[in-house]
Structure 1
Amino acid sequence: MAETLTGKRVALLVADGFEQVELTEPKRALEQAGATAQIVSPAGDRVKGWQHTDWGDAFDVDVPLDSASASDFHALVLPGGVMNPDALRQNEKAVNFVRGFFDQNKPVAAICHGGWTLAEADVLQGRRVTSYPSIQTDLKNAGAVWVDEEVVDDNGLITSRNPNDLPAFTAKLIEKIAAG
């Protein structure tokens, strides 16, 4: 990749049931660009992915949510899946962790159903976003301007609709982190 993210630390916040490819692809791309991409989770030592219609692989948690702080990272990634963001939006520590990135004006990237956590964090007012179409009403009700596009960048808030958008999503994320 043209951009280099050496020295950059990126949090990937997940609970059990995240869409596996929405974690593995951004993590791989970030690491190839030189970033340290770390899984942050309230789930304990391991967190389990979801692959389309069944449970996927288990992944080691790098940083427990209880000891994570937005100030320790340069950016945040919120993978989707249905179970994962539904669990995170009910976790006060997860919601506050997400809000911390906005308070510090750091890049945040959410794909698919990941926008549910953004809605709960109350950070969408007036922001242009996209998501999996079934949650567009939730995002609109949270104050977002929802559009059906492959990737949307609203002042460092990067959103995409589904796994098909991952190439554009990861490219935009890397571009934003590299730009500082």
Structure 2
Amino acid sequence: MTKTLLLLANGFEAYEASVFTDVLGWNLYEGDRSTELVSGGLHSELTCTWGPKWIPDVLLDEIQLDSYDALAIPGGFEEAGFYTDAFNERFLTVIRYFAGAGKPIASICVAALSVAKSGVLSGKKATTYTYPGNPRQDQLAAFGVEVQHGQSIVQEGNIVTSSSPATALEVAFWLLEQLTNQENVQQVKRRMGF
């Protein structure tokens, strides 16, 4: 059984978190049954971008990081306070651990900014939220990242970054493949109706 940490910052997008809960959950029931997902954050209650509350399974201060096999990070909105947690040193320490251990890190949209701020993408290729007039790719470049303009998903070693919520399911299926195999991913996709 593999265990994935769903790393949540206040202000995260519920949809971007739900792709991991659904894809890994479908695998638990309809795939090879090998994936467990545990949500973690800095607070005992988190608020999603649009207001719903989420109670994480564990607090970051309680986590034994070496018991996890992968990391999943949804993005969020500045207006909802996302970057307060996403740029917190305890949050960034978790990212550094997974990067240093060579374990898969799946980030969606602006979660790439957390990954970049942690320092693990310095001099490497990545992307983040792409929309005309939006400064997020400039912020990514300011962290020393080689921004890959025009690419919706970028894999750099064990780290995946993506350009928008539209990429979320593809990122979640990438993570499932890292944890299992392509044949199992196809089985799960068929059972989900893809």
Counterpart in 2 of 1:19?
13
Taking only aligned residues, the RMSD between alpha carbons, in angstroms, comes to 1.6
> What is the aligned residue count?
168
Q: Percent identity?
A: 24
Residues 7-57 of structure 1, C-alpha deviations (whole Å, 9 max, x = no match): 11111111221011000112210121231111100011x22212xxx32x2
Unaligned 5+ residue runs, structure 2?
29-34, 182-194
Q: How far apart are residue 66 of structure 1 and its match?
A: 0.6
Q: CA deviation at 1:65?
A: 0.7
2:48 counterpart SS class = strand
Larger radius of gyration: 2
Matches within 5 A, 1:50-129: 50=49, 54-55=50-51, 57-83=52-78, 85-129=82-126
- Identify the residue that residue 36 of structure 2 maps to in structure 1: 36
Name whichever structure is richer in strand by fraction: 1
Cα distance in 2 between the residues matched to 1:43 and 1:73: 20
Deviation at 1:126, TM superposition (A): 2.4
Task: Give the unaligned 5+ runs of structure 1.
Answer: 1-6
- Residue 33 of structure 1 aligns with an amino acid whose one-letter code is N
Q: Displacement, 1:85? A: 4.3
Match of 1:137 in 2: 138
Match of 2:155 among 147, 153, 170: 153
Normalising by structure 2, we get a TM-score of 0.80
What is the DSSP-based 3-state SS (H/G/I as helix, E as strand, rest coil) of the residue aligned with 1:140?
helix
Aligned residues of 1:69 and 1:97 also touching (Cα < 8 A): no
Q: SS of the counterpart of 1:123?
A: coil
Contact map agreement 2:154 2:161 (CA 8 A) in 1: yes
Residue of structure 2 in register with 1:162 after alignment:
164
Shift of 1:175: 1.3
- 1:82: Cα distance to partner? 2.1
- TM norm structure 1: 0.86
